[in-house]
Amino acid sequence: MIDLSPARRRELRAAAHHLNPVVSVAGNGLTPTVLGEIDRSLQAHELIKIKVHGTERTDRDALMQAICAELDAAPVQHIGTILVVWRERREEQAAATPKAATAVNVPGAAKAKSARAFAAAARRTALIKAASDKRRLAEKRTRNLVRKSGPLGNK
């Protein structure tokens, strides 16, 4: 379990204020599946909230200590049924993440996407203008026909 300084704990509490719980612990308690989900969430977010349903305060304290001991995390805060836990990302998975991100970020891909979006917008504008011109021309023709034939149609 990681020990945090009071200043760091205060920073983490402030950062966790707007977060929603990402994991719920219900009637079955702390199962290996729940621990795995908490571990994945900590790896993804570092700072998470856990919602605990249907237990007493002392049970929630013990649950928080068990989670932190099992996953090498730091307890940040325990308010009501919400537990706030923090752990730095592990290196082996953190190193794999940028490789996946760089595979998607091909140089020039953003410019190509931007150019495609610009071309699509230009096509849309041209089609709208062409439809508007066509409609205006049709209205002009009907006005000319009415003007030539007169109000009763005979002239």
**Which neighbouring-strand residues pair with 6?**
none
Enter the pTM of the model.
0.59
pLDDT at 95: 54
Same domain (yes/no): 85, 127:
no
Is residue 123 included in any domain, yes or no? Answer: yes
* Residue ending a domain, choose from 43, 58, 91: 91
Tell whether 36 and 80 lie within a shared domain: yes
For 11-52, what is each residue's pLDDT tens digit? Answer: 999 999 999 999 999 988 899 999 999 999 999 999 999 999
Examine the domain organization and report whether 73 and 118 are in the same domain: no
- Structural domain contains residue 33: yes
* Count of domains forming the chain: 2
State the Cα–Cα distance between residues 144 and 32, nearest whole angstrom. Answer: 81
Residue 145 and residue 141: Cα distance in Å, rounded?
A: 6
Domain with 133, as residue range(s), is 106-149
